[in-house]
A and B are shown apart, each in its own frame.
Chain A
């Protein structure tokens, strides 16, 4: 077990070092989130002018949600979420596949490393929200604990879906456009931009049955205690992680036969 961990730890380190290597990028990421968190707080406060509650949600909850979602999104939904397509394109995938660890664990470790490297950005967003009085703490310590569990499941969900999507690279090399559509679709469908509370009535049940809401909306709704049946929410999240991981194994097994390493 320890040996297996040692194998992927290097890749995890490569992931977070790839973020820290470009200090300027990290600083601009931080500055960007500070600006965006500030403007987001203003937008939501202005929106709520003249309303006490909209869709059963009060102003401070809506503002907190927007700031927290932006901070969490900056950490767990990076623009470069996988190096896999690039490695397939360049043929480096051949070397990856010869390593004594599965390609799946290599990629997951690297993606986790990237998220850890981006943590300072999220923290800066959170601090901005706190400074502006725009972030509510969870209702209770138990709520915080449940959020940690739910958030971890959400992150596992994102990691798996990201890897699944980047495996398209085994079938077609030009996937830039597809990746962008995917990025913005998940941002919207996961509730990272707008909480499901404010979505149109006909859309809510559809989003509820998609895996994306389990990435962001589910953990945040637990943070704010706006959902009954927390155990049901967690069970659905676990269910999605299991199903998606099964799918990942299936796709990977087919992808192995598709690998074409370009060059000598």
Chain B
């Protein structure tokens, strides 16, 4: 029984996704420009880092090659969030305009329908930038690459994406109670975009601990990067926790999804 429910969800997801991407590809002219938008959005941060390091060389003991790798890891993880989950950005409209009514009566999960409601084209720009940056900067970093470390890197990228997806899902769940959650979600996204690519211990012990346990941004890129670079001795937390960081995403996302599904019960249809 449980298996057939899952199979139905997968099938529904495939149908919804195909429709969404076909709709998005309709506007060819905007297609490339939108992807460029995605590249510009995250690329400015990379540019920022590049320009600064050309002048300052070192940030908190990290040289350009390792910082660029940390940043690339963050960009790739971000792509793992925005490509499958990017449509969540329109949750407020879905609740305010009553699209949720449709999602709740259709034979597929409401969350699945929210994240497949349209194809986030811009995310392809994130994917392009993230993969390119990782392909360029991972070999140049001081990581001594081995098959195990490559596997850890892949797990870290996926896990990092799930941390972001989890945080955003958690905030999106408030859309069933508040009129607007957009600014709250933008705030989280913006903070992650700007600061999760830095060695987070530079924000001090309490700064680091709150970015690890309160707003778990450290799991996106910094903790896995310290493991790969052998810099875990900088951390005020046990090494095993950093080593297990790729699994953090799964935990954060599962909790957030449970919370989302609980909050749906508070949904009030705007229609009569």
B-binding residues in A (CB < 8 A): 22, 24-26, 28-29, 31-32, 35-36, 39, 42-43, 46-51, 54-55, 79, 172, 174-181, 184-185, 187-188, 193-194, 198-200
Contacts and interface: CB of A to CB of B under 8 A. Distances in A.
B178 to A, nearest CB: 7
Contacts of B203: 39, 42
Given A22-B183, A177-B122, A43 B190 contact: no
B187 A32 contact: yes
Given A29-B183, A181-B40, 10 more contacts: A24-B178, A24-B183, A32-B187, A35-B187, A36-B190, A178-B33, A180-B41, A184-B41, A185-B40, A198-B51
B101 to A, nearest CB: 23
A198 B52 contact: yes
Given A174-B27, A181-B36, A194 B56 contact: no
Contact of B44 (A43, A179, A184): A184
A39 B193 CA distance: 13
Contacts of B43: 184
Nearest to B182: A25
Contact of B33 (A26, A29, A181): A181
Given A185-B40, A194-B52, A46 B59 contact: yes
B44 A42 contact: no
B202 A180 contact: no
A123 to B, nearest CB: 17
Nearest to A45: B202
Given A39-B203, A198-B55, A176 B30 contact: yes
Nearest to A176: B34
Interface residues of B, number: 43
Nearest to A172: B29
B198 interface: yes
Tell me the interface secondary structure of chain A in the complex: helix
Nearest to A180: B37
Contact of B202 (A24, A46, A193): A46
Contacts of A55: 55
A28 B36 contact: no
A42 B200 CA distance: 11
A193 B48 CA distance: 7
A239 B183 CA distance: 37
A28 B182 CA distance: 9
Contact of B48 (A26, A178, A194): A194
A188 B105 CA distance: 46
B37 A178 contact: yes
Nearest to A203: B51
A174 B55 contact: no
Contacts of A175: 30, 33
A47 to B, nearest CB: 5
B237 interface: no
Contact of B40 (A25, A180, A200): A180
Q: Which of B121, B183, B194, B198 has the most CB of A within 10 A?
A: B183
A254 to B, nearest CB: 20
A176 B37 contact: yes
B142 interface: no
A187 B204 CA distance: 28
B96 interface: no
B163 to A, nearest CB: 18
Contacts of A49: 60
Contact of B51 (A42, A180, A187, A194): A194
A55 to B, nearest CB: 6
B125 to A, nearest CB: 8
Nearest to A51: B56
A22 B60 CA distance: 39
Contacts of A193: 44, 48
